[in-house]
Structure 1
Amino acid sequence: MSGGGTEPVAGTAHPPVATATDAAPPRRRRVAAWISIGLALLVVGGIGGAVSAANQWAARDALDPDSYGPDGARALTQILRDHGVEVRVTRDRAAAAEALAAGSATLVLPDAPALSDEAVSALAGAADDVVLIEPRARTLDLLLPGSAPAGVAPEGTVGPGCGVEDARRAGALVPGGVFTAGADATACYPAGDGYGLLIQPAGQGRISAVDGHALFRNEHLAENGNAALAANLMGRHPLVVWYVPSIGDTDIADTDPSLGDLTPSWVSPVIVLLLIAGVAAGIWRGRRFGPLVAERLPVTVRASETTEGRARLYARARDPLHAADRLRIGALRRLAALLGLGPNAAAPEIADAAAGRAGLDRRVVRGILIDDIPRTDADLVALTTRLRDVEDAVRAAVRPGRSPR
């Protein structure tokens, strides 16, 4: 009794254990897949952050004093610091003005289209020396009256060609952009239609203009006398204030308003909300519930109905010849099968073989199977009867003893 009572219990307990064991691996695999995806995202994000941090210079502009890239100017700031000159990089106008007010300083000024003429003049007036490293027509006319851009110098090194000691110590170089000199400016490095360096006195100091893109970028600083000229122009005072302008530093009040300025304050949050709702709706309605399933058509049409429908169309079109062709094609196919002819047998070949096997007149059989043209419905009915007679005669000759259909 005990053995009989034990076996049902074991047999009853076994299926639930097997079911749980079978269901566990898929669940574990799903959890492991999500964990793997999360770890992969963390790894990719970490690598992207590291690459972005290691290449911050790539996002900076040309001649940026903190950029190590080929277009940056980090090498020049390092040379100045090695010579005991303090280089202070400022990225807003207020910080630059504050640094210039601390003492004797040189202002390195790139092109600043976002600043008004008054702001540029105020910055330049607060410095002892000013070095324009991206001279444009507006800046030249503002700080070196009468001077203007004059294109690009021809290839090849050019000597100083002037009495300025800083240029003579630097020696020959390839000027890049050149400028015409105003009445009060001293011009050096003559090339093409202008000069590669302009120096003009301003109060107790001076203002210099030179193409920094061609001379002071990291990739060109070691060429010819580029580094020496940069150090001579910028290292005359213990402090260099390198101003890096930005759009947010503008003081021009008559700028065109943005779309956000022209719309009410609630428009932007509503647009963001609509975008979020659209994305959520797309995810909601675009989800799939499972694999695609091929569904059979729910309607089955019998062959007899199809045949009757097609016959009614032929009758309505009053085209007995077309109906006769369909009847002849069926008769020829059946005769070819009875006579053992291949599927590619021609109609005349089938007609001749049928006439020969049944002992009928060849011309009559050809007329029934190929040549006769029915003009009326009565002719079509008569042709149908004759086709049946030919088939019955051939079947009787091929299979003697069997009654015709």
Structure 2
Amino acid sequence: MGIAVVGGGVAGITAALDLADAGYKVYLIEKNAELGGKMAELAECKTGLSPYVVKVKNHPNIELMLSSELESLSGSAGNFKLKVSGKEVEVESVVLAPGYDIPEIAKSYGFGNPDVVTSLDFEGILRAATASETGELLRPSDGKRVKRIGFIQCVGSRCQENEICSTACCAYTAKEAWVIKERFPDLEVYIFYMDIRVFGKDAELVAELKEKYGVKYIRSRVPEVIPEDGALTVKYENLEKGAIETIDLDMVVLAMGLLPSKTLSKLAEITGVKTDNYGYIETSMTNPVETNIPGIFACGTATAPMKVRESVAQSSAAALKAAGFSQRTEPIPGQEEYKFIEVGEEPKIGVFICGCEGEVAKTIDIPAVAEQVKELKDVVFVNSETNTMK
């Protein structure tokens, strides 16, 4: 039979590959025409995700069902019957990984002005700036160089419409601010926040941004962004001073909160899993991937807002739980008996060294590496100008 994984983002891909690599038949169901989910929209993450997408598409144990949706589910653990876009599928367990969506943006933030962008959109702008001939961060509206930029935290979260903290916003804003200061050290960066909720390496990065890079963290609430005279005036309540203040910036990035996927409520209705007060799939503190339905598990941002690394870890846990209801029916890749075919020629190896748009060259002498690689046995071609970021 097999195991169904619903959702083809980073969580679904992780669960599917863990199961398929362990010898389980997997049906990976994704409503969109391509895999990757929201992570595929992040410039630097898309490159890292691509090898896993390719592996999924070529994995002998995965049946990929793109542009497909779960329409019905019946049966019980060990014997579920699914209808997926008209096709009947029988599985022993199910992993739900539908991902997340972002809230609507209040008009008061000036969204619609080309210089007010979401954090996801800003990833693409950063990438374009790095790849451009000038190598400068330019305003979308007029192509002028950005000198002052602001990030507004908690947009669409920790508010009346969505009380819950999205947990990831502080961390990815810090990452984007770090990229800016590394690539454009003269650019002024302001971060408007209510509270900084990070720990571990993320907390260290925030401290480094303040102390080493001079990023200005302003504890505040921002009611509006006013576009006027070619600038963006950010009006905010300074929570430390108890005063209303303004600042003119060239560009504003909205750090969007996370919401349950728009498809999650329908999935919950079809599968019978319970959701919590915030619309996420309900699990427990002691069993964070188990739902109220035996044999159906949930992972990633289907259960709560979380960072990518947390989503990956939880997806592996869900895969392990789902495997407990199934039987291995497929060969485990890498454990087959290898057969070597005599082709009558010496092996020919090509080596492609990625410079990552100049980032690697800061610490590694790529031409020297290329020259050394040329001397290795069976290497017949070396390209040291490869750029997988494009």
TM-score category (smaller protein) = under 0.3
Q: Which has the higher contact order (CA 8 A, sep 6+)?
A: 2
Larger radius of gyration: 1
Please give the TM-score of this superposition, normalised by the length of structure 1.
0.23
Higher normalized helix content (fraction of residues) = 1
Please give the TM-score of this superposition, normalised by the length of structure 2.
0.23
